[in-house]
Amino acid sequence: MIQDLNVLESKIAEVAALCRALRAENAELRQKLAAAEDEKQRLAERMESARERLEQLAKQLPEAKA
């Protein structure tokens, strides 16, 4: 009976350690996701700005004569 309780205690400790590790990993992944979303937003803004600049440059080009 004592042996069974010791085994159970050991398994509970393993589960608790795994839970702590998964929470830490989850927090890290959330931070990485937030950073990736920020980078995505920054790149989208840069692309929009580049598109606007290209459109302005295209308007300044002389018309092609047929």
Q: What pLDDT sits at residue 44?
A: 98
Q: Is residue 66 part of a domain?
A: no
Q: What pLDDT sits at residue 63?
A: 83
Instruction: Encode burial over 4-40: b for 16+ CB neighbours within 10 A, e otherwise.
Output: eeeeeeeeeeeeeeeeeeeeeeeeeeeeeeeeeeeee
Q: Is residue 1 part of a domain?
A: yes
Question: Could you list the pLDDT tens digit for every one of the 66 residues in the chain?
Answer: 999 999 999 999 999 999 999 999 999 999 999 999 999 999 999 999 999 999 999 999 888 776
Q: Is residue 64 part of a domain?
A: no
Q: What pLDDT sits at residue 66?
A: 62
Structural domain containing residue 8: 1-59
pTM, full prediction: 0.69
Residue 63 in 3-state DSSP? coil
Q: Is residue 20 part of a domain?
A: yes
How many domains does the structure of the chain reveal? 1
Q: With left for phi above 0 and alpha for psi between -120 and 50, is residue 64 left, alpha or beta?
A: beta
